[in-house]
Structures are given as C-alpha cells and as structure tokens.
Structure 1
Amino acid sequence: MRENTDTASRPLTVADALALPVLAAGQPQVVTGVAHLDRPVRWVHMTELTDPASFLKGGELVLTTGMPLPEEPAGVRRYVDELADVGAAALVIELVRRYHRPPQALVDACRARGLPLVTLAADVNFLEVTQVVHALLLGNQADAMRRTQRIHEAFTALTLRGAGPEDVVRAAAEMSGRTVVLENLVHQALICEPSGSTVEEALTGWEQRSRAVPSGDRTEVCGPEGWLVAPVEYQGERWGRATMLPAPARTGPSDFGPEDVTVLERTAMALTIARLIHATPWERTAHRNALRDLAEQRHRSPEDAHARFAALGMPTEGDGFLAVLVDTRAEDDGAEPESRLSQELRTAGITALVGALAPGRFGILLALRASQPWRPAVERLSRTALAVDPGAVVSVGSEVAELSDAARSFREAGRVAEAALPGRPLPDGRSFHELSDIGLRPLLYALREDVRVQEYAERQLGRLVDHDTRHGTDLLTTLRHYLDAAGNKTTAARRGNLSRETVYQRLRTIERLLDCDLESGEQRTELHVALAALDVLRMR
C-alpha cells in the first residue's frame, strides 16, 4: 500500500521543487543548506517586501528577485533571521536584475541559520513556478486524503471481522512499510512484524532500548532511535503500546509522515478493540505463537529466534533447554490447563514459556539452570497436569544446549507421547514419560497406524488367528507362552496349564500353519515382534 518511490506518498521537498522543469530551467545552484534540502515545501511565496516573514506561516519556498534586500549587512541578517524564525523552507533568489552573484552578507546569514539559499542564473517565471508547485501540492493533498481514507477503511474492515492482534500488527506493517511491534507494560515484545529488516535487527536488546523511550499519552516520535509510539489503552487503563520503527537507514522525526501517524493511531485503536473482544491475553497468544514457530522451525534464522524469545523475557543463553508436552482431553481453548501450568512454573521459580501447540496439546520450553535439576521441575509440572486432567500424558524430550536445537527436543517429546502405552505403569516416583520408556511395544504402538506394521503382523500371524477363529482353538496363546519362555517348552506348558505332550502337539500345528521353524531364534524373534504388534493394534 505504501508508495516509496512516488513523491505523492511523501511531502514535496525543496529538492523535489528544484528538480521541476519550471525551476530547473533557471539553472538553480544550492549555495547554503545542502543538508536541509529534504525540508517539506508547504507553499510557494513570491515577495519583493523587506519584511516578508509577516505573511508566512512556515514551510514556504520564498522566491525573490533580490530587489528588496537591504544594503547593509545588519539588515540582510535581520531579513534572513525573520525567514528562519518563521520556518521558511528555502530562499530562492534570481541573479538577473539586481545581482549577478549572491551578496556575501546573504550567504553568511543563510549559512549561519541553516537556511537553504538557492540562486537562479536564468530568468524564471515566478508565477508559473507558483502554479506548478501549488497544483502539485494540492494534488498531493488529495492523494493523501484518499490514502488516509483507505487506511481508515482497512482498519474498520479488520475490526468488523474481529481480527486478532497479530492480524492488526501485520496490516499496520504492510500499510506503512515499517516494522511494527506490540509490547506490554513490562517492555516485552509480544508481536513483531518486520518490514525491511529481520526480527533479529528489530528485537535485539528490545527491553533496554524500549525503556529508553518515554511513554506519553499521544502518538509521537521519541527516544534515542526516533521510534513512533502510540499507547494502547481503554478508559484510562493502559495495556501496552504500539511501536513503529524507523527505516533501518534513517532515524529521527523526519523519517515519519502524517500517514505513518494515522496508521499507528488506527493500529492502537484496533488493538484496543481486539483486546476487548478476544478473551485470550496477549502474553498467552505471544507464547503460543513463539513456541509453535520454534517447534516447527519457522524462524528465518537462529538469530531471529534468539531475539524473539529474549524480547519475551526468556533467557537464550544458559545451561540449556528442555521441551515438555502435555496432552489432555481439554475440549475448550485450554485456558485452564495453560494457566495452571504457567502458575505452577512461576510458583516454583522455573523460567519457562507455556503455550497451546494444538487442541489438547500444550508445549512447555524450560530454560535449564545447573543449580536447578529438571526432573523435580517436570515431576511437579506433571502432577499439576494430572490434577487438572487425570488422563493427561506428560512427555519429555532430551536436553539441548542451544535454543535453535529446541525443535529436536520437541520432536523427541512428540515421539515419546506417541509411544506412551495407555495404562502402562511408570517407574515409582515418576509420572511423566521420557525417551528411555520407548521399548519394543511403545515403539510399535507409536507406529500402529503405519500400514507396513499392520501388514507385517497379518503376514506373520494372520493364518494362526484365522485358524483359532474357525476352530475355536487358542494356539495364539500357546505361541505367546512359548515365545515369552524363550523357547522353553516346559515353562510354556506350566504357564498354560497344559501337559508337555499337548504343547508339543500344538507347536507342531503352529509350525505347519505358519510354515516356520520354532527352533530358529531368528524366526522366534520375528513372531515375537509380530505378536507385540498385534497386541498394540488391538488396543483401544
């Protein structure tokens, strides 16, 4: 939406005016104030008065033939001082009638006040200059009004469709072409939509930088970096502020225009409405999004991830990180389990982020410290989850040293969760699942929906199951006892309350049906795996 290359999208400057053909024909030369040619031109004023400042309001491009200039240097200085004091954009003097070179007193006075002084070596029709520039200015004003109207319409549409804070901040960044950040009252960057920069560039050292920017009651440019900030509040209660960052190559008040102010003011208003209609706190949404992006490796770079988590108040340097997943049967948005888990971690003094990764699944990223072992912390977390939902499953990945490796810890925790056998007891004193719990049966349970596992179990044991079904026999149980006894027929007979002769007979029948040799250790292993797969496939 922002037109960065068209002068219609920004104020007309002195440099723009001098480049117009009507003025370029006069062979303009900038004598002083080259650094101030980016001053906006609000109007053009032709004058032959000795005191033109009384007719000016600021921002005018003053055109003169030089005829009214005083002779004495003091009068020239007074003339220039009055123009500078009122805020004239520049003084353009024609060197055709009275002067053929600018008076030194005029040059010195303009240089002292930082007023751009431009000379014209050729005759220029000042009236034509006025007509051209004023037409351009009026056209720009009309364009600006249309763009402002589009801004209002866009934010109104966002509000009417119930847009959340992420949608609002994203729209603001797209409209302005700037990086826009929403922060809370403790200077944590909750949402960052970068434009023309990376998350790392925008958020590195965020809290310290943000605290250097005073919070006012209106939209204004302030702070050492020249941020444009707007409070987000409702009926006197402030929730945070929306911040628009200057373009990376430039800083300062002149970097922002009226449209930027309009965008940020409407952003703050839309964020207020979003806060009122969406019950989920901003912090919770920010934590959810950050964890999802981390677990799914959606960050553009490790540096972006570090900057984003640091801006949320999460340590990114330390003794390591650990991913924990909590799967519950929560049918709503999971607000209660999420709040309870977060509160438990805060009470225990454990630094972590908690967020819903999917319906019924919560992700927790723990920042580990050498002085605080993670097992007691996860056990405490697990017991809290079980108190909320007795059927909850808590799974843990492995410790990782770098934040960028946390995605691996989340993947491992996910595999542990998939392999958690229902009803399988855990070791005494532990209520959560970890990687060491994944044995043969948990592994097959995790793979139970894989067609290859199903085909394998059916190929190995299907004929035996069919025989039992048709003839009412229980050869599968005999095979189970035999395999569990590691091929010891006596033990198998005792476990099945059968005579050894009956076991021998049944085993021969099994060998015939399955076309196998039960004396082969390899084939017994294959059948044992198939039997374990069949067991997990029959679980409900």
Structure 2
Amino acid sequence: MRENEPSLRETTDPTTDTTSGLARRPLTVADALALPVLAAGQPQVVTGVAHLDRPVRWVHITELTDPASFLKGGELVLTTGMPLPEEPAGVRRYVDELADVGAAALVIELVRRYHRPPPALVDACRARGLPLVTLAADVNFLDVTQVVHALLLGNQADAMRRTQRIHEAFTALTLRGAGPEEVVRAAAEMSGRTVVLENLVHQALICEPSGCTVEEALTGWERRSRAVPPRERTEVRGPEGWLVAPVEYQGERRGRAVMLPARAGSAAVGSSASGSSAVGSSAFGPEDVTVLERTAMALTIARLIHATPWERTAHRDALRDLAEQRHRSPADAPARFAALGLPVADCAFVAVRVDLRTEAGDAEAESRLAEDLRAAGVPALVGVLAPGRLGVLLALRAAAGSWRPAVERLSRAVLALDPEAVVSVGSEVTDLSDAARSFREAGRVAEAVPPGASPPEGRPFHELSDIGLRRLLFALREDVRIQEYAERLLGRLVDHDARHGTDLLTTLRHYLDAAGNKTTTARHGNLSRETVYQRLRTVERLLDRDLESGEQRTELHVALAALDVLRMG
C-alpha cells in the first residue's frame, strides 16, 4: 500500500448502531476499533489500554520508515508492518517519532510480514505509552479511512452546527436582558455540567448543579476555589480540573465563571468520549469552552444592564429559597450559605422580617442594613423578600451570647430609615434547616401587628411572646370563620344599637372588662346600677345569653375582641 491523501468523498457508512451517539463527542481509538470495518480484523490491544480514550483526528496509512514527518498529531496510523526496521534501535526510533508527534495509536496488520508483534515494537510502544493494536485478519485500509473520515467530517459539521446554536442561544439571552441566574442556568443546561458564578473573594453567588447536588458542588468552595489561580483566558486549572473563564469589563475583573468536571459515570455534552472523570483538559471539549466563554460575556452584559449587584441578588435568592424551603435536600442549604460567606458551623440562627411602611426604598434599606451589620461584625445575610419587605438571617456564634443585642441594633437601624417600620423576630434555631421555621414565625408575628402598634416598652422589635388574643385575632381577621363568629354572637346587638340609637355594646364591653362586676361597670359607664341591670337584661334577651355564666362571658369577650380587630380593617 502507498501513502494516502485525505479523502473527502462521501461514503455509505455501514456502522449503524456502533456510531450512534458519536456525533456529540470526539471519536476515540476505542470507538474506531469498535467499528465493523476494523472489528472484522479481530483487533487486539497489545499496549496502551489506558490510552484508548485518545481522540482520533484522522486516519493515516503508511508504509514508510519515517511516517512521523507526514503527521500532525491525533492520527490512527495503519501499517502492514512492511517498513519496520529489523534492528531494535530502528524500531525504537520509529515509535519515538510517532509518540513525539502525538499519534493516537499504531495499528499493525499481522498477515503479510508478521504473524505476531515484534517484541522490540511491543517494548518500544509500552515504554512510550503508545497504544499498539494488532489485526489478525486482512482489512481494507481504504475502507477504514473512508468510514472513519466520514464520521470525523460529520462530527465536525455537527460540532459547527451545535456551536452556532450555542451562539444563537446566548445572543437571544442577551437581547432579552436575561439576568445572571438565567445565564448560568442556560450554561448548565447546554453543557450538562455544573456551572458556578463566583465573585472576586471566592464566594459562590450562583450555582446551577447538573449531575450532582448543591452540597457536592459547593462544600468547601472558598478553599477549593483559592487553589485555582486566576488566568486571563478560559482554561482548565487547579487540582480538580475546573474550566474557568474570567468575567470582566474593560479590563476590570468582576468574577469568574466556573464549569465543574462531570463526575464518573455521568455524561456531558462536549465531554471526552470515554466518559472518564480524569482531571485535565480531556475532561472538557471545545463546546464546553465555547459555552463558558459565552457565559462570561453574557454575565458581563447582564452586570451592565441590571443595576443590582450580584451579591445582593444572590443573598435575596438564598433567603427566599430558605424561607420557602425550596432546597432540594437539607444538606444543600448549609453548603450554599457557607459558599456565600455566612458561618454555618457552631452557630445559632435567628430570622428577622422587616416591613417598611414608608417610601424608604427597598434597595437602599437592604444595602444600609447589610453595611450596618457588617460594620458591627454581625454575620448576616440581608435580602428583599417582596416589595416593602426585607428578610435578615443572623448567624451568631455561641460565644456571642444572646441574639437580642444584634436584633436591637438591627431594629434601631431600621427605625432610623423608616420610623414606621415593623421589625418582627422568629425564634432562635441551632440548625440552618430549621431557619425556615424561624422565618415563618417572624411572618406570623408581623401579621399580628395592628397598624400603629408599638412593641412592648424597652425593645424596638416584636416577637412571638407579643401575640396575645387581640393580635392573634388581628392576624386571623380575614378568616371568614372569625368574621362569622363575631357576627353570630354580637350581630343582633350591633343592629339594635344602630336602629334605636342605644349603646348597649359599650355597656357589655364595660361589663366584660370588669369580669362581671356590675358596680365597676356602672362606674366606668357613668351609669346608675339600676340602668346597668336593665341594659344587661336587654343584652341577655337580644343575644339569648346568660351573662352570669363565666364560659358565655368568655365567648362574648372573644367575639367583642374579634369585632374590634375587624373594624380596624
């Protein structure tokens, strides 16, 4: 056989099922050997089994003693063995040249000159880590080149189409003003890998996991990230083999986009054909690089379009997910909050809800409170939960003692911004997974604060112990059962006062407040005892109630309290 030139002819590919799935990853030596056109030669791998995941860039047929001069790297070299030198030194030189140029593998046919591989060839290939494959049966090398080249050219065309789709997808995201969360999510979906956006102090602001959990992706994030030195271009770096791309604008770095290697056994678009989890550039393909570079560009544009800093958005999202229990597993929340810089070990957590009543401005209040807590050395995350509502999660070390001084400081800062704001506090919890309960309690406290109600004297915030009967009824005022209860017990009395211009409801209030003492009732209402007796008998008749019964007085007292909070609106 003679040296062949690359053939661009289209051929019929008889490989059917064997080639399915190859279009989404590079063709490897192992893939090529599995093709029917080569499998017919009964291939045996003599050396380099560990390197069968090498990508095949081209097929080269040679009968020269110095084929390396015609190679560029990545070739599957096919030979009948006819040109091999006799002396071991010549064989070693032959193999060294192939290995130096980066040939993917050497395939030798054991039909014409040899019937078993020469020991010198085996030793030389083993020494250089070059896969050596023998064929026990005759194979048409031209058929091999046609089949493999057709696959390679098809893969290249598919790769170009996929790259074009990647560019189009990110262009569409940019044109519609997508935020950083949407950009990172799109990158993870396109690549099938976990993608993280971090800031300059190695805090993971956004994490979109793929093939792993948030806990697995973010545990020990800062330590792991600091082991990956920054670079000016997109490349694989660090002990774990992260693919990193700088996010910068006009030479000013804003952070990094990070793509994590796929775990063993998981597939990722653009990954190496073997599916190996080995660290190194082979863990990522050209499409992964394209995705991450476009991600970095889209994040830069998103930063220019959206005024909210990434950190503020990250804190908001983390607090909302925690309060609404949207984490996929209990272990995800500690990993995520730790990656944002909040201490999570040996801490107590307290949730605080801030309801602004004036036009203080959510973003300004959020920023001011976060800065005030930071200046005081209080570990916390602050974020807008809803318009006019902020959430704060305090993480307090055991040595810090009570949480009350921190909440009092926070409350004073809030009231300095908005004197009418309501600060509500949930109970202290020692496990971050219970912080959602603390947020729910803070929410119930806030809902039970009537307009204009002040906290008990001596503190500037409301807490669970403040919820008495009236506040409980105020929180439940929209429940139709409360409304129906008040109307059923007191409606006829209210109607009577409206029709006749009387004020029996006030007399009943004084009587109930006096715990059934008629003398005290008369004094509070500036009435004679006889008038009080007469009015109370009328109340009993209208309501069909016995006012001497302690239980019935309690029922009426609750109904009167419900009526009061319902009239507050």
The verdict on a shared fold, with TM-score over 0.5 as the criterion, is yes
> Could you list the per-position Cα deviations for residues 80-99 of structure 1 after superposition, in whole angstroms to 9, with x for gaps in the alignment?
00000000000011111111
Instruction: Please name the residue that 1:31 is paired with.
Output: 46
Give the Cα separation in 2 of the matches to 1:22 and 1:370: 70
Give 1:165 deviation, angstroms: 0.6
Give 1:371 deviation, angstroms: 3.3
- Alignment check: 8 A CA contact 2:358 2:421 kept: no
Instruction: Verify: 1:445 aligned to 2:465, yes or no.
Output: no
Count of aligned residue pairs for this structure pair = 537
1:378-417 → structure 2 map (5 Å cutoff)? 378-417=407-446
Give the Cα separation in 2 of the matches to 1:435 and 1:160: 48
Give the Cα separation in 2 of the matches to 1:355 and 1:316: 18
Out of 195, 204, 211, the residue aligned to residue 196 of structure 1 is 211
Give 1:298 deviation, angstroms: 0.9
Code of the residue aligned with 1:265 in structure 2: it is E
- Alignment check: 8 A CA contact 1:318 1:367 kept: no
Out of 504, 515, 519, the residue aligned to residue 544 of structure 2 is 515
Code of the residue aligned with 2:559 in structure 1: it is A
Give the Cα separation in 2 of the matches to 1:350 and 1:33: 58
Give 1:301 deviation, angstroms: 1.4
Code of the residue aligned with 2:446 in structure 1: it is A
Give the Cα separation in 1 of the matches to 2:24 and 2:127: 32
* Sequence identity percentage: 86
Out of 303, 309, 322, the residue aligned to residue 331 of structure 2 is 303
Give 1:5 deviation, angstroms: 7.3
Out of 351, 363, 366, the residue aligned to residue 335 of structure 1 is 363
Given the superposition, is the C-alpha separation of residues 234 and 332 from structure 1 closer, same or farther in structure 2, using an over 3 Å criterion? farther
Instruction: Please name the residue that 2:272 is paired with.
Output: none
Out of 257, 270, 273, the residue aligned to residue 242 of structure 1 is 257
Out of 244, 257, 278, the residue aligned to residue 251 of structure 1 is 278
Code of the residue aligned with 1:397 in structure 2: it is G
Q: Which sits farther off after the overlay, 444-453 or 368-377?
A: 368-377
> Could you list the per-position Cα deviations for residues 190-247 of structure 1 after superposition, in whole angstroms to 9, with x for gaps in the alignment?
1111100001111111111111011100010010000100000000111110000011
Instruction: Please name the residue that 1:344 is paired with.
Output: 372
Instruction: Please name the residue that 2:16 is paired with.
Output: none
Give 1:306 deviation, angstroms: 1.1
Given the superposition, is the C-alpha separation of residues 202 and 114 from structure 1 closer, same or farther in structure 2, using an over 3 Å criterion? same
Instruction: Please name the residue that 1:165 is paired with.
Output: 180
Coordinate RMSD, CA, aligned: 1.2
Give 1:285 deviation, angstroms: 0.7
Instruction: Verify: 1:477 aligned to 2:492, yes or no.
Output: no
Give 1:50 deviation, angstroms: 0.7
SS at structure 2 position matched to 1:48: coil
Give the Cα separation in 1 of the matches to 2:347 and 2:283: 42
1:111-510 → structure 2 map (5 Å cutoff)? 111-249=126-264, 250-252=277-279, 253-329=281-357, 334-372=362-400, 373-510=402-539
Give 1:330 deviation, angstroms: 6.0
Instruction: Please name the residue that 2:274 is paired with.
Output: none
SS at structure 2 position matched to 1:428: coil
> Could you list the per-position Cα deviations for residues 343-378 of structure 1 after superposition, in whole angstroms to 9, with x for gaps in the alignment?
111111100011111111111110122333211211
Give 1:262 deviation, angstroms: 0.5
> Could you list the per-position Cα deviations for residues 231-278 of structure 1 after superposition, in whole angstroms to 9, with x for gaps in the alignment?
000001111100000111113221110010011011111111111100
Give the Cα separation in 2 of the matches to 1:162 and 1:245: 26
- Alignment check: 8 A CA contact 2:46 2:132 kept: yes
- Alignment check: 8 A CA contact 2:109 2:135 kept: yes
Give 1:333 deviation, angstroms: 6.9
Give the Cα separation in 1 of the matches to 2:220 and 2:412: 36
- Alignment check: 8 A CA contact 2:52 2:131 kept: yes
Give the Cα separation in 1 of the matches to 2:347 and 2:49: 54
1:17-96 → structure 2 map (5 Å cutoff)? 17-96=32-111
Given the superposition, is the C-alpha separation of residues 308 and 474 from structure 1 closer, same or farther in structure 2, using an over 3 Å criterion? same
- Alignment check: 8 A CA contact 1:323 1:366 kept: yes
SS at structure 1 position matched to 2:157: helix
Instruction: Please name the residue that 2:14 is paired with.
Output: none
Give 1:331 deviation, angstroms: 6.1
Give the Cα separation in 1 of the matches to 2:228 and 2:508: 76
Give the Cα separation in 1 of the matches to 2:455 and 2:358: 23
Where do 5+ consecutive residues of structure 1 fail to align?
none
SS at structure 2 position matched to 1:441: helix
SS at structure 2 position matched to 1:449: coil
Give the Cα separation in 1 of the matches to 2:347 and 2:102: 58
- Alignment check: 8 A CA contact 1:493 1:499 kept: yes
Give the Cα separation in 2 of the matches to 1:332 and 1:47: 79
Instruction: Verify: 1:8 aligned to 2:23, yes or no.
Output: yes
- Alignment check: 8 A CA contact 2:110 2:136 kept: yes
Give the Cα separation in 2 of the matches to 1:216 and 1:251: 22
- Alignment check: 8 A CA contact 1:331 1:359 kept: no
- Alignment check: 8 A CA contact 1:333 1:359 kept: no
Where do 5+ consecutive residues of structure 2 fail to align?
1-18, 265-276
Given the superposition, is the C-alpha separation of residues 184 and 516 from structure 1 closer, same or farther in structure 2, using an over 3 Å criterion? same
Give 1:332 deviation, angstroms: 8.9
Code of the residue aligned with 1:233 in structure 2: it is E
Give the Cα separation in 1 of the matches to 2:40 and 2:406: 78
Given the superposition, is the C-alpha separation of residues 333 and 272 from structure 1 closer, same or farther in structure 2, using an over 3 Å criterion? farther
Instruction: Verify: 1:524 aligned to 2:553, yes or no.
Output: yes
SS at structure 2 position matched to 1:301: coil
Give 1:60 deviation, angstroms: 0.4
- Alignment check: 8 A CA contact 2:507 2:535 kept: yes
> Could you list the per-position Cα deviations for residues 43-71 of structure 1 after superposition, in whole angstroms to 9, with x for gaps in the alignment?
11111111111111000001111111111
Given the superposition, is the C-alpha separation of residues 294 and 5 from structure 1 closer, same or farther in structure 2, using an over 3 Å criterion? farther
Given the superposition, is the C-alpha separation of residues 509 and 5 from structure 1 closer, same or farther in structure 2, using an over 3 Å criterion? farther
SS at structure 2 position matched to 1:491: helix
Q: Which sits farther off after the overlay, 219-228 or 375-384?
A: 375-384
TM-score normalised by structure 1 residue count: 0.98
SS at structure 2 position matched to 1:115: coil
Give the Cα separation in 2 of the matches to 1:256 and 1:332: 49
